[in-house]
Chains A and B, each alone.
Chain A
């Protein structure tokens, strides 16, 4: 279509009622008004001058191509450094988390250690009271003879106090010494609270009981479970099933069998009731009680010709 064709087209539009030119004139007028408003707005903002020319920011200096390249390279360097720093921050953050975890573990360990330390200092107090009461009994023999049961009750209570979980373990102690007349059994000497009166009647055999084995071998004998068929244990003794563990400690001085004057036995309700530290405490208390029992046995003349009967230990 050439120019004459376009003119002909407009003539045809004019001839068809003249609405097109009216529409065109309004359209152009509205467009001009908009342009003018935009011009005024930009002028008001200071983006252009009266002539419509763009105004440059005086604060921004014009840069040469070289300077621009340098700036761009610095920016990319800064971006790289920023990424590196972010990585380092993340790494440090992970380290802090790890250290916090370690600190918490150390805190837990400290609490555990402190509890054990507290237990040890408390045990020391019980040892001190036992030593004091044993010494008092040795000094005042008359009072000891009158109040023997009470004295042993309290002294054995100090030992029981050093054991953990009293309510669950229900620890009970009995001390046996050589029988004055029979060679094949031991006889009751003292016991802690909680036993029935029948405990005095029980005579553990030298062969076939935990106390007998400890006596024979002059060695600590611990049975974690009395139902273990391999254990040397007098099963008649546990007819009422009050305990599952038993620990028998010889009352002696070191490895010398001839110094053995009896056996201290401790029972515990659950299987494997006693930890190593508790067993060691029982051994310690057996040493503390030794002078008192020895004094009493010598006084009674239960053991003739020195300490334990050699016949029963062979």
Chain B
């Protein structure tokens, strides 16, 4: 988790433009957990509640 190195980012940009990776893959790999931990924690919490209900 953390900043993705510049070279890797540029490569990801290239791969996405070429259609070799999906938007989701680009998003996940570019973000690499940055700014996303609160969202994931909330998602986990909700899934736990829904899991209990079901």
Contact = CB atoms under 8 A, between A and B. Distances in A.
B12 to A, nearest CB: 9
Interface string B20-45: 00010011001110111001000100
A36 interface: no
Most buried by A among B3, B27, B32: B27
Q: How large is the interface on A (under 10, 10 to 19, 20 to 34, 35 or more residues)?
A: 20 to 34
A5 B52 CA distance: 94
Nearest to A194: B17
Contact of A161 (B3, B19, B26, B50): B26
A234 interface: no
A154 B10 CA distance: 7
Interface stretch (A13-21, A77-85, A119-127, A195-203): A119-127
Interface in A188-213: 193-194
B31 A125 contact: yes
B9 interface: yes
B41 to A, nearest CB: 12
A118 B28 CA distance: 9
A124 B34 CA distance: 8
* A-side interface mostly: helix
A107 B3 CA distance: 32
Given A118-B36, A129-B9, A161 B30 contact: yes
A121 B35 CA distance: 5
Nearest to A123: B35
A117 interface: yes
A102 interface: no
A125 B34 contact: yes
Nearest to A114: B43
Given A118-B39, A124-B35, A167 B6 contact: no
Nearest to A122: B27
Nearest to A118: B39
A124 B30 CA distance: 10
A118 B35 CA distance: 9
Given A122-B30, A126-B30, A133-B6, A157 B17 contact: yes
B46 to A, nearest CB: 6
A158 B17 CA distance: 12
B46 A110 contact: yes
Contacts of A129: 4, 6, 9, 30
A237 interface: no
Interface of B: 3-4, 6, 9-10, 13, 16-17, 19, 23, 26-27, 30-32, 34-36, 39, 43, 46, 50
24 contacts: A110-B46, A114-B39, A114-B43, A121-B31, A121-B34, A121-B36, A122-B27, A122-B30, A122-B36, A125-B30, A126-B30, A129-B4, A129-B6, A129-B30, A132-B6, A133-B6, A154-B9, A154-B10, A154-B13, A158-B13, A161-B13, A161-B26, A167-B19, A194-B17
Interface of A: 107, 110, 114, 117-119, 121-122, 124-126, 128-129, 132-133, 154, 157-158, 161, 166-167, 193-194
Given A121-B36, A122-B27, A154-B10, 11 more contacts: A110-B46, A118-B36, A122-B36, A125-B31, A125-B34, A126-B30, A154-B9, A161-B16, A161-B30, A166-B16, A193-B17
